[in-house]
Every structure is written in structure tokens, then in C-alpha cells.
Amino acid sequence: MPTSSESPTSPGLFEAVVNLCKRRGFVFPSAEIYGGIRSTYDYGPLGALMLRNVREAWWRAMIQERDDVVPIDAAILTNPKVWEASGHLATFTDPLVDCRNCKERWRADQIEDVCPNCGSKDLTEARPFNLMFKTYVGPVEAESSVAYLRPETAQGMFVNFLNVLTTMRRKPPFGIAQIGRAFRNEITPGNFVFRTREFELMELEFFVPPADSPRWHEYWCEQRLAWYTRYGIASEKLRLRPHEKEELSHYSAGTTDVEFAFPWGWGELEGIANRTDFDLRAHQEASGTSLEYFDQATGENYLPHVVEPAAGATRAMMAFLLAAYDEDEIGGERRAVLRLHPRLAPYQVAVLPLSKKDTLATLSREVLHRLQRHFMCEFDETQSIGRRYRRQDEIGTPYCVTIDFESLEDRQVTVRDRDSTSQTRLPIEDIVAHLLGCFDT
């Protein structure tokens, strides 16, 4: 049994997780052989697997386990009129200040009137800086071909509201959900993948009768907080924080953030906004298409109000990693272990033949193929079994299945649990059912 010891805390925790991400193939600086590009990252094999699991955990809770939400997958480049109508062209800005001394640029709301780089107080007046990336569609770089990379996925859902309403025969309350890349030309990206210029959003637009929006806002705050604890973050590391009036986005009548205790302090994981009918009304006016819903029960037309939980997948992944990182001791030996939820871990099962000898190869492959139909598996037959367990612990693999020489006789294998390190011997025929039972959350 492992003996628990003090887990590293900030700033050691942050460094330990960032190092592990690089060393074990979760996250690499982008285009590292060219010296990278500031605060841009590529997700390596384990990061790509984990990010996919974060998306799937969200998809499961927000779409699969409900009967009132449908998904879409909208284009990243769309008609620029969308961003004009939504208010993003005019108001999706952060206040930018320049330091006259060292020429660094900062977000005025993130510094205390003094340059964090050189300490100078000689700063310019704050001016609005639009965060949308601009590009051109087609071969001509003219004003008429300007387009923007989407800074949020939400607008794709508003402009498709009518299509979804009619094709899916929905009525409020119902939701449209989407996962996808978003782009913001952040003034000061940083803290690893916490703030990057390209990131992934998981957003739900939940359309409700106007009078019901406060109740649904409260409902979604509770649901979203519970999602993070369901997938393994301790509740004391999470909190809900309602926005002050002056913090609210241009479209919001009320926003509450789900925050996580990052090593540097509380930071936002997700914003749950009451967007009212701001977006549907804006698109109705700008497009000239009625986006009202006709309620047959009351005989009234109305524009639904929208409650929007908007979460960052990449930022959530970082929080899950920070929350899962632990160090303990087994038999006097220190180990690093990621206590990730089994559904979030890059690999759910590692298949480990005790020896590289040919005699074990056929049976080991048989076990691997059985498991691969249900789980993401890693097959590893090199080094001592103890070292292989340590490697799997460090990347969060919840179960290791070991095939030994006795397995050839009795067709049983050993299943080792990452957290308790306990080992159970089971017939090969039963391991899939056994492991599926362990994942049933």
C-alpha cells in the first residue's frame, strides 16, 4: 500500500505538472525546433488523448445524458456580419496599455498602474484593443473580403437557431451545444495553457422562456460545478463567483464563473452567463429574419432568453492535471502519480507481459485485442515490471493488466489498481466486464 505524503503545492505543483506534460508527451511548445511561438502549444500523444477525453466527458454530460440538448458543428470562418451584429466588432476588446520605458504591452485590468516587466509607472492611457484575428477570404486582400476567426463558438449556435428549431422539432427549454477551436489575440497570454491565443471551447446555448432564465441560470451553475467534481476535482478547490456589474460582458445580464484554485490563485474555468435575448434580437434585426418562437400553448410569439455555460477544454484539462498530481511512497520509493478520473486518463489500461519472451506474446496480444475494443490501451513489454507500473502511474493509467507464465496455465491475469496499488487475479474472460464496472461513473 502506498503511504500518502505531503503533495507538492504551488509553485512546486505548477512546475511539476508542466515538466511532466513536456517529459511524457502531453504538451509541447509549438514548433519547438524553430524556437516555438510565444504561448502556443501543441498537444502530444497523451495530451491529444486526454483532451479528447475531456471533450467526451463534457459531451456525455451535456448531450448524451440529456434529452433536451442537440449538438452542432459550425464553421470557424463565417460571414463577418455575424460579428458586427453580435457586437464583437465594436466591443470585444481588452484595455491595452504600453509601457513607455520598456515598450512592453499589458492588459490594463490585469496590472496595478505599474509595468510588471520594468516597474515603470510611465504607462500610456488604456485604449481598446479588439481581440479578434482578422484574415481575408479568397485571393484578394480587400476590405470586402475581410473575415474573422471566431472568438467564441456561441454565434454559430445563434445563427443556426432557426434551422435547429425547425429541423429538430424543438421548443424552449432546449439547448444547442458545440465544441470547437476559438481564437483570441490575447494581449498577455501565459501560465502554460491557461491563456493561449488558440484554444478550445465547449459551449451550450440553452434557450428558455424569458421569465424562466434566472431559474435556469441557477440550475446550470449547479450542474456545471458538479461536472468538475464528478470528474475528480475536490469541491474545496472549486467555487462559484458571481461577476460584479462592471465586469459583465456586453451581452450579459448576469454571469457566474466556476473557478479553480490554480497554483497562483483562483482562476476562471467557465463562465455561466444569462445572455437574455441579446444575440437573437441582434441577429433578427441585422438579418431581417424573424427568430421568434411561436408558443402554441399560449398563442404568443417571443424571443427566447439564453443561458450559456461556456467552458474552456484546454483550461479544464490543465485544472484536471493540477488536481490529479500527487506524490507518495511505495515500499520506501517515491512515486509521482496522476490520480485522474479513469475516463479522463490518456490510457485506461496498460497491458504488460511480465517478460518479453515469445512464450507470452500470443496470449498478451489476445488480452490486448480484447481490451482495445473497449478501452484506449498501451502495450509495454520493456523494463522491469516495477518501472513499468511507475511509468503508468505517472501518466495516470488507472489499471494495469499483467500477463505472467501462470497465465498460460490458468488463463488468469493480474489487474493492478493505480491508486491503491492492490492487485486482483481474474480470468481473462472476465476482465472486460470487471473494468467496465470500474468505469461506470
Q: Cα separation of 184 and 401, whole Å? A: 44
Q: Is 39 in the site for ligand ATP (CB under 6 A)?
A: no
State which residue, 130 or 314, has the beta carbon closest to ligand ATP: 314
DSSP annotation of 415 = E
State which residue, 256 or 407, has the beta carbon closest to ligand ATP: 256
Q: Is 327 in the site for ligand ATP (CB under 6 A)?
A: no
User: For residue 164, which of 307, 312, 304 has the smallest C-alpha distance?
Assistant: 304
- CB 200 → ligand ATP: shortest distance, Å? 8
Cell numbers representing residue 168 in the block: 429538430
Give the three-class secondary structure for 390: helix
Cell numbers representing residue 424 in the block: 486482483
- CB 314 → ligand ATP: shortest distance, Å? 5
Q: Is 309 in the site for ligand ATP (CB under 6 A)?
A: no
In angstroms, the Cα distances linking 237 to 20, 257, 258, 313, 341 are: 21, 14, 10, 18, 16
Q: Is 24 in the site for ligand ATP (CB under 6 A)?
A: no
Q: Is 92 in the site for ligand ATP (CB under 6 A)?
A: no
Q: Is 407 in the site for ligand ATP (CB under 6 A)?
A: no
Spacing of C-alpha 153 from chain mean position: 14
Q: Is 315 in the site for ligand ATP (CB under 6 A)?
A: yes
- CB 39 → ligand ATP: shortest distance, Å? 9
Q: Is 283 in the site for ligand ATP (CB under 6 A)?
A: no
Q: Is 224 in the site for ligand ATP (CB under 6 A)?
A: no
Q: Is 84 in the site for ligand ATP (CB under 6 A)?
A: no
Do 149 and 201 meet the contact criterion of CB atoms below 8 Å apart?
A: no
Do 370 and 362 meet the contact criterion of CB atoms below 8 Å apart?
A: no
User: For residue 213, which of 247, 170, 252 has the smallest C-alpha distance?
Assistant: 252
Q: Which of 213, 314, 392, 407 binds ligand ATP (CB under 6 A)?
A: 314
Alpha helices, DSSP H, located in 288-384: 313-324, 358-372
Spacing of C-alpha 313 from chain mean position: 1
The interface with ligand ATP within residues 263-282 (CB under 6 A) comprises: 268-271
| Interface pattern 126-155 for ligand ATP (x via CB under 6 A) | ------------------------------
Radius of gyration of the chain (CA): 25
Q: Cα separation of 183 and 197, whole Å? A: 6
Which stretches of 209-360 are assigned E, i.e. beta strand? 238-242, 255-262, 265-276, 293-295, 300-302, 305-312, 325-330, 333-338, 349-353
- CB 243 → ligand ATP: shortest distance, Å? 9
State which residue, 86 or 196, has the beta carbon closest to ligand ATP: 196
Q: Is 404 in the site for ligand ATP (CB under 6 A)?
A: no
State which residue, 259 or 328, has the beta carbon closest to ligand ATP: 259
Q: Is 262 in the site for ligand ATP (CB under 6 A)?
A: no
Q: Is 295 in the site for ligand ATP (CB under 6 A)?
A: no
User: For residue 162, which of 300, 294, 297 has the smallest C-alpha distance?
Assistant: 294
User: By the criterion CB under 6 A, which residues form the site for ligand ATP?
Assistant: 184, 186, 195-196, 199, 201, 268-271, 310-312, 314-315
